Structure 1
């Protein structure tokens, strides 16, 4: 963050408390559109503490807010930490946040679901540079993290808990806002390692007068390993992606912005070969994926009013191929969402502020077997907050109107009390809803009478300091109750009216669930050159009708991390330990997934001011484990590379 933006942060607090006039370019505009500088990726930088940008969140209110003024639990992971972890695998970064567990179908590029506080992976709202990137044509409508590599990312914000008041559909488990990298100058890196893996990234950014912008790109290729546990044929992955950002300040208090992302990948997959068609094993099948997203917007800030208006689009296409049956795709899906939106903040007298917004989203999907279908979702929300010197309180409501199922109203409230300069207490109540997907409503398996999934989330926490600071501690207790959960219902042998004209099955609101537990974070700088952190979560997620554990929800997850900047020529050493308890792979709790412990060690050595050698060994002790039954995982893997900055 620039010095001007830091001054805006200080004035922002004064404005809400009635002590200063709103600057021409206030915090909301500066932070919502500014491009965070790519800090030097070394252990010294990580140990030095968080940047100012790492202390800001947009996930709580939809506009920029200091993290210590929100009553909701938000974890912010900055560019330094992402770079220090190394490599393309974003899952290893996300596992440093409490409440997060990962499910992956096979190796790199395989479907990667992120579950927050025991919610379904499809119940996490994901935004990349402000664009919702859910795969509209997918049955569950979630986002596949297997198609997003870490090297293109500059910042991750994760709000844990339901927050549909601000964000609408899908924000049941939480909200993740990802900002792509935008350095000052040029950075590049390349690495090579296990399974003939090659990963290269490059990014460049700068400004000239009223214009500022950045471009970033990456290429990743690996021979991989068999996606099927019993298989022997490697399943490779190849992907390239590019991102861009542009900002033009046309006048004091007015700017235009544009962002874009494009990714294309090819993933070899396994299936159920003849003669049995029942055993998951090696096949020659592969999948092609294309993702494109972007947003153009206008920013206005004057006289106590900040506005951020934009038009965003996300488009995902998947094609499945099987050389055994011919050269053409045997199944294709395409989903598109177009969204017009407005976020705003009005500074009111006596330390009050109103965050508000309105939007309309038009979605469409089609598959090889399903004709194109459309839906519209229009929404409006308001969140009124009082931001005192020690206490902040906010409450709001939202209404959504869906062209297929009608309207939904959600409520939310949160509070934050500073006990002293270091300690604060947080509490929040949030409601969430998730609209049925177009596939669930209108495909050959669809049920047009579906209701949206709903949730109520409570949490209470205490926190000391800031994540990445000299001493940080947080402890949060939470509970989320969900109802009307949508699941696939088999119609084999059924004469129920629901199954009419659905011989193989359909979707219905059949489930209720509860997830409750605790999250804890501890981080400390133990001297000038050493830092350590821990993120732990206990999540008990159950089906309230059967009492069974929800599938693929381990109750315990712990990540321990340490970094040491040695006196040996700037050599930096680090290690991560990931511990995950047992879970079940199925709703009936018949197939157990054993817990596991994974260790990664890493090192980085600067060569002058511009170059750095780095390397790591993942799964150091060659542990055999699974996150999804039948799918293979990587054994011990070593990687090494070089990074340059200009």
Structure 2
């Protein structure tokens, strides 16, 4: 961790861990679709869907799953979702500037596109993106009720993209009206408004956010501020038609404009201040039916996700430069049969239609048909489950995926768990059909292993977990240069094309701690060691670290509810050195940041404030791109 004195790291660690904080437990999901699923025996803790596609108690899976709920999101404060995700083990993030800029999330050494992202169960990856990646820069924290993260491959349930993990983000439903407004550094304005009703057969809510900031120069060498403006609307509803049958629906719309910097056209082609900006419009939604009895659970629905990006250069007479459109539609069925006791068969079938187009590329489309089954025993002393999936892609053919996981309750609330999962990632439409596409490219595949011992629940009085993992990936898709080559695909793609070019391995371990020694104190910390290296035989990068994957990362936080109603909290994040790319030619120095928080309630009204990056650390998570220095914000929120 070059560039930061060791004494500062020791001070930060001690200040976070010694102080013993606290707060309330995560709130139960308001719409109650989690609680009304087949319970699979008695269980404690959160109910999640990332393991099987249907609600499952978190202590009934052998897979590594973490949950951050609404109370914790409120305590962290602010619109920046990256500050929430930094508490999750195994997570590394890179961002090309401030809030609203391209934000990539990598789990356990995987690439950003190896993480399957769901919002209210809808797959939201950008079908027009080169790698089919979701940009977290377009998602603000104000509309979010909970975040579920499964770390590891789980293509048995989710199919393509679930290589390094699965993240499900659930939109909030407030039983009443809630609002907040804050103002701070860089003339930043942020407001949220939500309302809903949870009564009888109906649970429905609508939430909106607005964000506007002058920002700062995204180019670390620049001086011109690059701003971001976005408004976002989400909704989620459930209505019980009968005691066993409900209709469910959700939707999200986001429209934003983001300024960014480009590259100097002259050598050395450095990132400089420019007048470039982009407009991104996203909408996604799902509607379906949810049926639950003691024997059978069914969840059938239709989902879509659409992303449109347009890029402009204000310095040109005609500002519009180019644009992309991507769309996914999906018809899906998840089911569970519980024929006897703790035995359950989870199954499902999906049909997906994807298409993309751009200013430079002709429209292209593909379809995928898939089915899966997962047989499990979920007992009081332990669980075991195993399953298989088959995906048939209209462009490259079929792919099988297998997986298994189990857990054993040793003594008291200590349990041993283990998981094996296979993952695969279908080539993106851009990699198949763009001007640099290769119709013969094959899907990426992986095999992941995980073993852990844990005590308690992350949101309980005491939680301790230690896990070790390894993932081997093959057929990684990369760009093959055609420099000096005129045969084969290079005859029609003189600049190069996408092909299966590499192999990689990621391995490491994670340590998680959380404690609530009293009703007013809570503390937590995570440490992640991730070694992700290139294993492409014969390549001159063989053995090099993969880009933007720091080997060491520590996150720690405290919260204290004082006797005078004032609540105080702090977050610290320590990240080790890494490299910008697999060539290891450009280093990214490690860094440390500390955020301080406070809030004071006055009946239904609460005043709050925070200081981010207290020590004004200068750092980069993507080479050449700046991050915010010391920043301060104040705000108010209420709920009635």
TM-score greater than 0.5 by the shorter chain: yes
Q: CA deviation at 1:122?
A: 0.6
> Relative to structure 2, which stretch is displaced further, 517-526 or 435-444?
517-526
Offset at residue 622 of structure 1 (A): 0.4
Match of 1:69 in 2: 60
User: Over the residues paired in the alignment, what is the CA RMSD in angstroms?
Assistant: 1.7
- Shift of the 507–78 alpha-carbon distance from structure 1 to 2, 3 Å rule, reads same
Whole-angstrom distance in 2 between the partners of 1:155 and 1:589: 36
Query: Which residue in 2 is equivalent to 1:421?
Result: 412
Structure 2 equivalent of residue 21 of structure 1: none
User: In the alignment, what sits opposite 2:576?
Assistant: 581
Map 1:10-29 onto structure 2 (within 5 A).
12-14=39-41
Residue 157 of structure 2 corresponds to 166
1:557 partnered with 2:557: no
Query: Does structure 2 retain, via aligned residues, the 8 Å contact 1:15–1:351?
Result: no
Give the aligned partner of residue 306 of structure 1.
297
Change (3 A) 1:97 1:601: same
Query: Helix, strand or coil for the counterpart of 1:533?
Result: strand
| Aligned residue in 1 for 2:634 | 640
**Shift in CA distance, 275/552, structure 1 to aligned 2, threshold 3 Å:** closer
Distance 1:438 1:5 in 2: 37
1:628 maps to 622
Determine if the alignment matches structure 1 residue 355 to structure 2 residue 346: yes
Q: Which of residues 484, 494, 512 in structure 2 aligns to 1:521?
A: 512
Q: Size of the alignment, in residue pairs?
A: 608
The secondary structure found in structure 2 opposite 1:348 is strand
Q: Distance in 2 between matches of 1:523 and 1:556?
A: 19
Task: Map 1:528-607 onto structure 2 (within 5 A).
Answer: 528-545=519-536, 546-568=542-564, 570-607=565-602
Corresponding residue SS for 2:263: coil
Q: Which residue of structure 2 lines up, in the alignment, with residue 205 of structure 1?
A: 196
Aligned equivalents of 1:6, 1:329: Cα separation in 2: 44
Q: CA deviation at 1:241?
A: 0.3
Change (3 A) 1:283 1:480: same
Which aligned runs of 4 or more in structure 1 are off by greater than 4 angstroms? Answer: 2-11, 274-277
Aligned to 1:467, what secondary structure does the other structure show?
coil
Give the alignment partner of residue 464 of structure 2, picking from 461, 465, 473: 473
Is residue 463–residue 513 contact of structure 2 (8 Å, CA) maintained in 1? yes
Q: Aligned with 1:166: secondary structure?
A: helix
Offset at residue 479 of structure 1 (A): 0.2
Tell whether the 8 Å contact from 1:611 to 1:645 is kept in structure 2 after alignment: yes
Q: How far, CA to CA, are the matches of 1:275 and 1:467 in structure 2?
A: 52
Q: 1:6 to 1:293 in 2, by over 3 A?
A: closer
CA drift of 1:339 comes to 0.2
1:11 Cα offset (Å): 7.6
Q: What is the alpha-carbon distance in structure 1 between the residues aligned to residue 141 and residue 438 of structure 2?
A: 38
Q: Counterpart of 2:261 in 1: which secondary structure?
A: coil
Q: Secondary structure at the match of 1:80?
A: helix
Mapping for residues 2-41 of structure 1, pairs under 5 Å: 12-14=39-41
Q: 1:251 aligns to what?
A: 242
User: For residues 323 and 346 of structure 1, do their structure 2 counterparts lie closer, same or farther at Cα, with a shift above 3 Å needed?
Assistant: same
Out of 138-147 and 269-278, give the one that drifted further. Answer: 269-278
Residue equivalent to 1:411: 402
Measured after TM superposition, the shift of residue 207 of structure 1 is 3.7
Native 8 Å contact 2:31 2:238 kept in 1:
no
Does the 8 Å CA contact 1:137/1:439 hold for their aligned counterparts? Answer: yes
Unmatched runs of 5 consecutive residues or more in structure 1: 17-51
What are the Cα deviations for residues 336-355 of structure 1, in whole angstroms up to 9, with x where unaligned? 00000000110022421000
SS at match of 2:241: strand
> Offset at 1:556?
0.4
- Note if contact 2:36-2:292 (Cα within 8 Å) is conserved in structure 1: no
Instruction: String of CA shifts for 1:413-466, please: whole Å, max 9, x gaps.
Output: 000111123100000000000000000000000000000000000010001000
Instruction: Give the secondary structure class of the aligned counterpart of 1:282.
Output: strand
Judge conservation of contact 1:436–1:451 (CA < 8 Å) in 2: yes
- Per the normalisation by structure 2, the TM-score is 0.93
By how many angstroms is 1:212 displaced? Answer: 2.5
